[in-house]
Amino acid sequence: MNVSGICRSIVEDLKARTVELSQGRAAGCIGLVNEQGYVSQRMNIVDGGVTSLPLRKILSTVASISGLSLLEAINLLPPNAVFISTQPGHTGLITGIGVVDMLHMPMVNIGVKGDEVCGVGISFPEKHFFNLATESEMIELETLRAKTIDEEKAIIRRAAQLNLQYLDVGHELAVVNEPISDNKDSIEKSNWRLPRIKIYSISADIADKLVATSQKVGQGVEVATIGEVDATGHVTGKGEIVIGGMGAVPPRLLASSVCVVKNKSLYEIWLHDIPANAVILHTHPGGTGVMHAGDASAGPYTWGRPIIAIGHDKEGRIRGATVIELNDALIELGDESEELDCAFFSAQTPQEEANIRNLMFGVSQQYTNLCNPIEIK
């Protein structure tokens, strides 16, 4: 998709909203590109926080996403969509591809300082950028593997050199005096959905292999793979076992368990290359398999696939296995969490903010209730 400019009124609308919010808070929306290559239409503007925007809330301005994983919600966006965000305190320079990688669409940054627009940048989905993201994941994990000071220095030096390459992922976008459009009825929407699968058990063979690998690479390091679930709700291994970090396995590394990730966005990988009946399998060293909000986000909430944790002790004895599945309760918790992330900005007193933050903590606790124990057989 060619994007050669953005209508000035859209830029001004977003600037005005972020100035009104103040306190360094961003505002964002979905824009649509016309046949001339101009971003000439926008959906409703959504208020964000200092470091992030509520992505699901932005997606919901295009279509109803109730009960959908993030991947399914993204797939509802039309092919001429772009993601637009203000960048308070900056110039619009883009130095990361997280949004482009996740949404597989252009990202527009509007830099705002004081009451003025300082610049507008754009980054496109390009194969080279996705490979940078893969390399970033690998370097981050290599830091954990370093055995000497000199090894870690060399890895950090590579990371710094890689970061310099991110300065070239975006370029300036022209602001044009073109009329905006309000024809939202023409937006086409997909009906693609992932199956809602009930899981009852996991193969003892893959569970043992995961724990054995976890023991081999060192205490506290999670390992993972992609499995698949059959019609009876039984999960078996499918992909190669990959080695992650302390408490996390990056999404590109995880996907590489079953497919080639080179030159592809995360959206493309998880939409086209990961099987619909896939299940994310990983270890919880030192735990019993009980999961939390981070596990839910890394699995069904984002990618629509169930996630299983195998808990084991330092001797390699399995303590238990649980699963978090994609269901309405999970999505509702995620949506509530997203709302609360920005809600405290509206608090007028310390007590109001304290109440909101307590609610945020309460939502996080509820994720443990979504973990269902499963049989290992």
Q: Are 306 and 293 in contact (CB under 8 A)?
A: no
Using the 8-state DSSP alphabet, how is residue 287 labeled? S
Q: Are strands 375-376 and 116-123 parallel, antiparallel or unpaired?
A: unpaired
Q: Assign domain 5-126+170-186 to its CATH architecture.
A: 3-Layer(aba) Sandwich (3.40)
Tell me what pLDDT residue 145 has: 83
Q: Taking every pair of C-alpha atoms in the chain, what is the biggest distance, in angstroms?
A: 67
Sequence ranges of the domains in the chain = 5-126+170-186, 128-164, 201-328+365-376
Whether the per-residue pLDDT at 119 is higher than 80: the answer is yes
The rounded distance, in Å, linking the Cα atoms of 125 and 144 is: 30
Whether the per-residue pLDDT at 186 is higher than 70: the answer is no
Q: Are 70 and 45 in contact (CB under 8 A)?
A: no
Distances (CA, A) of 161 to 148, 150, 245: 20, 17, 22
Using the 8-state DSSP alphabet, how is residue 300 labeled? I
Q: Tens of pLDDT along 221-262?
A: 899 999 999 999 999 999 999 999 888 899 999 999 999 999
Q: Tens of pLDDT along 271-315?
A: 999 999 999 999 999 999 999 889 999 999 999 999 999 999 999
Q: What's the angle, vertex CA 298, arms to CA 122 and CA 204, rounded to 5?
A: 145
The mean pLDDT value for 331-349 works out to: 88
Distances (CA, A) of 222 to 203, 217, 252, 291: 19, 9, 15, 13
Q: Which of the residue ranges 68-72, 127-131, 220-224 would you say has the lowest mean pLDDT?
A: 220-224
Whether the per-residue pLDDT at 185 is higher than 60: the answer is no
Q: Do domains 5-126+170-186 and 201-328+365-376 have the same CATH topology?
A: yes
The rounded distance, in Å, linking the Cα atoms of 194 and 245 is: 28
Whether the per-residue pLDDT at 6 is higher than 70: the answer is yes
Whether the per-residue pLDDT at 81 is higher than 90: the answer is yes
The rounded distance, in Å, linking the Cα atoms of 293 and 143 is: 25
Q: What is the dihedral of CA 119, 20, 77, 324, to 10 degrees?
A: 120
Q: Are 121 and 92 in contact (CB under 8 A)?
A: yes
Q: Tens of pLDDT along 11-21?
A: 999 999 999 99
Tell me what pLDDT residue 220 has: 81
The CATH superfamily assigned to 201-328+365-376 is Cytidine Deaminase, domain 2 (3.40.140.10)
Tell me what pLDDT residue 182 has: 72
Whether the per-residue pLDDT at 316 is higher than 80: the answer is yes
